[in-house]
């Protein structure tokens, strides 16, 4: 049966609107039958069933950085590389941009949660006062779960890193690695000296967007923010979202970097291989391998050169602590012999914002499940990779300056994510679940909007002062680490975010949005009813209630010089106090970047792989 015949049959038996949730199996069938077998020549990386005992390099984690590191190290033909991934393959559903939310809380997600704050200072509108922190447990890691947004950060982020003593991490040093990875598909950007073509990682705009996306850009123009390349000369301004998307499908780090090289004989990929410990000689402090569980069996692999941790900002510190690298007192309390006393798990920063900031319009120009969860939309996607199923959730981003921003005006302190939908847009089917919203909060604030046309801005604090930490909850490697984000510990963070919210409110007041009759939703959060609506006090209450993160934890194995007591790795990403062990992922960021970290983490993978090659004498970095 052809895909067209298949979906004609579906259409024939579907006499009423079908919910997005019930359509997922049909999408998987259609994609698997038609595009994966007929029009997409790529195939998944091979899961090697029998592994060698010894490899030159073992890479732990295949996410934003790990896939890059493994791919680049395997370019050296006489090096043997083992890539260990706790999860399995991407799925047909994970390819579909509009279905990204359904991947959270699935088998592709570690399903982590924050620890409840004793004073309920954040995440108070969530069940058990816990924010969900999805992490990718799949080839490609978080690049399979995220919104695919390609933002590099601000050039001053990297110059600041270098000023801390991290040689070679200034903007002029990292820019070539962004360009190296990139295959920019937008012609007007491909010609820019800030972009590259022909790399593994596809970058483009979504093939489909709503009329409100243009409205958002025009509104920001009214407010004095240019429409320009936020990944170019300067960051302040607005832009249609640049995405890691290929045609109309997600381009994860696995699809970009691992699939094209899947037949390399010197790269072994082991799926469903959960690493439980890094093997370090307690006398010599030399790293010599890893323990992992695969097929319910404990196995060991040995590294003759190095082990590279690319398990992410939560799992990399967890693995180090389980292996004896961390705060000595904490390790002793957990009964773990101390190998190297380092501040592992500290310095955790995250972009934090106010969730659920909702506006209403009078025209049918928003994204609603009831409007697009239908057979024609799925047919258009399966046959042509176009239409509303290519919708990534976020259609535009902007970087704005509050009154607290850097005096130069070139280092914005707040980022906007614009979405032509809101918490209510799927009638309470799934968004409320992945945000972990309490039923009474959803029913009070958002359920009354289920028939309305709504849009949202998510204002995010780019460089929070407040930092959290990760610790072990157990010596059992299968127990999630203890995640204490410590949001809003500094009043300055509340002040900056409040100003960002006010700017977001003004976006709705522009002529561009008033054309659609835009106005803010005015039902307060239940625990904020006693405060006058839209005052500074109300916004503080609201952000402590609907604390919203888009899951950007960084910095838990901080890069810094040997005189920095808060550093875990040096500027070559080598872990202090041991040999043969590097960390190459978001953990090493000394300060969080000003924007979505997916692209910067892939850059770290590129640069880290080159450092390894240089340190082992196979290339020279100029």
- Tokens 């009154």 belong to 403
Active site annotation includes 552: yes
Cα separation of 35 and 355, whole Å?
36
Backbone φ/ψ region at 159: left (φ over 0), alpha (ψ -120 to 50), beta: alpha
What one-character-per-residue DSSP string does 319-384 give?
HHHHTTEE-HHHHHHHT---SEE--TT-SBB--EEE---EEEESSS-S--HHHH-SHHHHHHHHHH
Dihedral angle at the C-alpha atoms of 155, 161, 166, 171, nearest 10 degrees?
Answer: 0
What is the Cβ-side half-sphere exposure of residue 269, based on CA atoms within 13 angstroms? 29
How buried is 42 (Cβ within 10 angstroms: 0-12 exposed, 13-18 middle, 19+ buried)? exposed
Catalytic-labelled residue, pool 117, 351, 521, 552:
552
| DSSP-based three-state secondary structure for 172 | helix
- Give helix then strand counts, H and E, for the chain: 18, 25
- Identify the H or E element spanning 506: helix 491-508
Binding-site residue ranges for FAD: 138, 275
- The angle, 0 to 180 degrees and rounded to 10, between the axes of the packed helices 66-73 and 598-615 is 30
Closest CA to 322 of 289, 296, 344: 344
What is the Cβ-side half-sphere exposure of residue 568, based on CA atoms within 13 angstroms? 30
Binding-site residue ranges: 138, 275
Cα separation of 347 and 316, whole Å?
14
Residues belonging to the active site: 552
């Amino acid at each position: 049966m052809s895909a067209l015949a298949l979906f004609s049959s579906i259409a024939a038996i579907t006499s009423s609107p079908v919910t997005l949730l019930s359509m997922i199996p049909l999408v998987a069938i259609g994609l698997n039958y038609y595009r994966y077998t007929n029009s997409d020549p790529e195939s998944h990386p091979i899961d090697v069933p029998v592994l060698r005992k010894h490899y030159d390099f073992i890479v732990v984690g295949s996410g934003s950085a790990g896939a890059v590191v493994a791919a680049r190290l395997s370019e050296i033909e006489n090096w043997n590389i083992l890539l260990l991934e706790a999860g399995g393959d991407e799925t047909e559903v994970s390819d579909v941009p509009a279905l990204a939310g359904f991947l959270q809380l699935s088998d592709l997600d570690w399903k982590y949660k924050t620890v409840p704050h004793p004073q309920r200072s954040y995440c108070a509108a969530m069940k058990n006062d816990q924010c969900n922190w999805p992490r990718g447990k799949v080839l490609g890691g978080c690049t399979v779960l995220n919104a695919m947004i390609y933002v590099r950060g601000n050039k001053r982020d990297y110059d600041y890193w270098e000023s801390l003593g991290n040689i070679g991490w200034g903007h002029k040093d990292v820019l070539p690695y962004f360009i190296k990875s990139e295959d920019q598909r937008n012609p007007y950007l491909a010609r820019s000296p800030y972009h590259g073509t022909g790399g593994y990682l596809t970058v483009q705009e979504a093939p489909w967007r709503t009329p409100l996306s243009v409205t958002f850009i025009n509104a920001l123009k009214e407010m004095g923010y240019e429409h320009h390349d936020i990944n170019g000369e300067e960051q302040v301004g607005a832009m249609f979202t640049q995405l890691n998307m290929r045609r109309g499908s997600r381009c994860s780090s696995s699809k970009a970097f691992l699939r094209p090289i899947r037949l390399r004989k010197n790269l072994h990929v082991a799926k469903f291989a959960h690493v439980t410990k890094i093997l370090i000689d307690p006398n010599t402090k030399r790293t010599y391998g890893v323990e992992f569980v695969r097929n319910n069996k404990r196995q060991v692999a040995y590294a003759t050169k190095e082990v590279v941790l690319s398990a992410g900002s939560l799992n990399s510190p967890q693995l180090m602590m389980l292996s004896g690298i961390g705060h000595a007192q904490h390790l002793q309390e957990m009964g773990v012999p101390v190998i190297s006393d380092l501040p592992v798990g500290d310095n955790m920063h995250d972009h934090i914002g106010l969730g659920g900031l909702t506006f209403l319009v009078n025209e049918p120009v928003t994204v609603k499940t009831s409007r697009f969860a239908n057979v024609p939309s799925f047919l258009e996607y399966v046959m042509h990779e176009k239409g509303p199923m290519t919708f990534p959730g976020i259609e535009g981003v902007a970087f704005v300056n509050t009154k607290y921003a850097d005096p130069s005006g070139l280092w914005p302190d707040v980022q906007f994510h614009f979405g032509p939908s809101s918490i209510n847009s799927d009638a309470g089917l799934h968004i409320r679940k992945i945000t972990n919203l309490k039923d009474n909060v959803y029913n009070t604030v958002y359920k009354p909007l289920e028939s309305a046309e709504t849009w949202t801005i998510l204002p995010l604090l780019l460089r929070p002062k407040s930092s959290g930490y990760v610790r072990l909850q157990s010596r059992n490697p299968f127990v999630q680490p203890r995640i204490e984000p410590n949001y809003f510990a500094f009043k300055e963070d509340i002040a900056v975010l409040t100003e960002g919210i006010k700017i977001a409110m003004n976006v709705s007041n522009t002529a561009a949005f008033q054309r659609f009759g835009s106005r803010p939703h005015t039902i307060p959060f239940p625990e904020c009813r006693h405060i006058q609506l839209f005052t500074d006090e109300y916004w503080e209450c609201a952000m402590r209630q609907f604390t919203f993160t888009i899951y950007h934890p960084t910095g838990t194995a901080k890069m810094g010089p040997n005189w920095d007591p808060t550093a875990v790795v040096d500027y070559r990403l080598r872990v202090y106090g041991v040999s043969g062990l590097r960390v190459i992922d978001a953990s090493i960021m000394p300060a969080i970047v000003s924007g979505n970290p997916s692209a910067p983490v892939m850059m770290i993978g590129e640069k880290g792989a080159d450092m390894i090659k240089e340190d082992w004498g196979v290339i020279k970095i100029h």
